[in-house]
Structures are given as structure tokens and as C-alpha cells.
């Protein structure tokens, strides 16, 4: 079980954000929720999550912009980022991975697939 692991989810769609949060909380993660990229950057600073899930398309600051800010700050640059997006074009995926994302997960996804992938990423990073 992911005891003590904190995940920040930044997603402007309330239904998706709540589903992701519920799914991750159900398996034991602590979850912090942000409505947009700007809020995600602020919460990443204050909460220091173990992993950040960023929707690509959000108001005020999109996921790519938020990732760039997170990577530029000493306090957040090493927090792993996973992009979530309904856009699966190769250029979009490549852009996210080139920014240093651990993974780029396409919507829609099954909740059990999401928490398994999150767990795999955290396990792998813990071993490194």
C-alpha cells in the first residue's frame, strides 16, 4: 500500500478530478487537488507531493506551462510529473516527455490502470 505517499492532481474537469482523487485515495494515497496549473504550482510548493498528475489543457496555466515552472524551481524540480490528456498526437506526447515527464497517460483511462501506473512510477523512482 502507498502509505504516506502524496499525489497532487491538477485537472479543471471536476468529474475527472474527483474520479482520479477518489481512485487514488481508495488505494491509500493522500491526494491534493488543484483546479488549474497556477494552483498546481502553488500547491506543489506548499505540499511537496511525491508525484504530480497534470492535465495538459487547463485555464490560467496549462500543464506544459506548469511543468516548466515546476522544473525551474529548486523546491519542485525533482517532483515527478505525469501528464494526463485526451490528445494523443505524437507531437503532444513527445513534448510532454521532453519536458521531463515520467509518463503521458491518455484519457479516458480506467481508474485501476491509473493507480497501478502511479504505483509503478513511484516504486521505480524509489529504487533509483
> CA-CA distance, 48 to 66, in Å (whole number)?
15
CA distances from 112 to 22, 120, 122 (A): 11, 12, 15
| Domains annotated on the chain, with CATH | 6-127 (3.40.50.2300)
Give the mean pLDDT per block of 10 residues along the chain (128 residues): 85 94 94 97 98 94 95 96 88 89 91 91 90
Q: Residue 1: what pLDDT? A: 52
- The model carries a pTM of 0.94
Show the 3-state SS of 3-26. CCCEEEEECCCHHHHHHHHHHHHH
Contact 68, 40 (CB under 8 A): no
Cell of 116: 497501478
SS3 content of the chain, % helix, strand, coil (to 5): 45, 20, 35
Contact 63, 10 (CB under 8 A): yes
Amino acid at each position: 500500500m502507498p502509505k504516506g505517499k502524496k499525489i497532487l492532481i491538477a485537472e479543471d474537469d471536476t468529474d475527472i478530478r474527483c474520479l482520479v482523487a477518489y481512485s487514488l485515495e481508495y488505494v491509500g494515497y493522500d491526494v491534493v487537488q488543484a483546479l488549474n496549473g497556477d494552483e498546481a504550482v502553488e500547491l506543489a510548493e506548499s505540499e511537496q507531493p511525491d508525484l504530480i498528475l497534470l492535465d495538459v489543457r487547463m485555464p490560467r496555466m496549462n500543464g506544459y506551462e506548469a511543468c516548466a515552472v515546476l522544473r525551474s524551481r529548486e523546491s519542485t524540480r525533482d517532483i515527478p510529473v505525469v501528464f494526463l490528456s485526451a490528445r494523443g498526437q505524437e507531437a503532444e506526447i513527445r513534448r510532454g516527455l521532453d519536458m521531463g515527464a515520467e509518463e503521458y497517460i491518455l484519457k479516458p483511462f480506467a481508474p485501476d490502470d491509473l493507480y497501478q501506473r502511479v504505483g509503478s512510477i513511484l516504486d521505480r523512482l524509489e529504487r533509483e
